[in-house]
């Protein structure tokens, strides 16, 4: 008969440890620097859009840059979503199964908001 401990072992190898000293860390901790770099780049793209409008550049060129910034934001969102499902949601199922349904509903609501944006 499988004990909770060996069941926990099976789950733990699926996600890096995200619980330290009873403090829960979000799933993107390992790739935090990468997200920070990407967001700085997107911030620069938006400042660039501001400059393009100041300089009265051609509308189509501005639209092209907006599409690029939107795509970059979308990419960050999809990455965070993956890590959230892989870590935060799995973690909840492992340690507090009664919250799992709620965590899934919360995640799909966030996906829904993103899809409709």
Residues numbered 54-83 forming contacts with a second copy, rule: CB under 8 A: 54, 56-60, 62-64, 66-71, 73-74, 76-78, 80-83
The reply on whether position 19 binds a second copy by CB under 8 A is no
Binders of a second copy among 77-116, rule CB under 8 A? 77-78, 80-86, 88-90, 93-94, 97-98, 100-101, 104-108, 110-116
Q: Scanning residues 36 to 55, which ones bind a second copy (CB under 8 A)? A: 36, 39-40, 42-43, 46-47, 49-50, 53-54
d(CA 110, CA 25): 19
Of 13 and 21, which has the nearer Cβ to a second copy? 13
Dihedral angle, C-alpha 1, 22, 84, 29, nearest 10 °:
-120
Torsion of CA 60, 38, 48, 57, to 10 degrees: -10
Give 70-112 as a DSSP string: HHHHHHHHHHHHHHIIIIIIHHHHHH-GGGHHHHHHHHHHHHH
Residue number, 19 or 74, with CB nearest to a second copy: 74
């Amino acid at each position: 008969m499988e004990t909770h401990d060996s069941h926990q072992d099976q789950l733990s190898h699926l996600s890096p440890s995200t619980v330290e000293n009873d403090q829960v860390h979000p799933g993107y901790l390992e790739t935090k620097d990468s997200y920070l770099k990407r967001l700085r780049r997107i911030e620069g793209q938006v400042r660039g859009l501001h400059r393009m409008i100041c300089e009265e550049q051609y509308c189509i060129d501005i639209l092209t840059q907006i599409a690029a910034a939107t795509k970059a934001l979308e990419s960050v969102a999809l990455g965070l979503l993956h890590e959230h499902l892989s870590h935060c949601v799995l973690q909840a199922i492992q340690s507090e199964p009664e919250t799992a349904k709620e965590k899934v509903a919360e995640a799909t609501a966030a996906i829904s908001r993103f899809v409709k944006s």
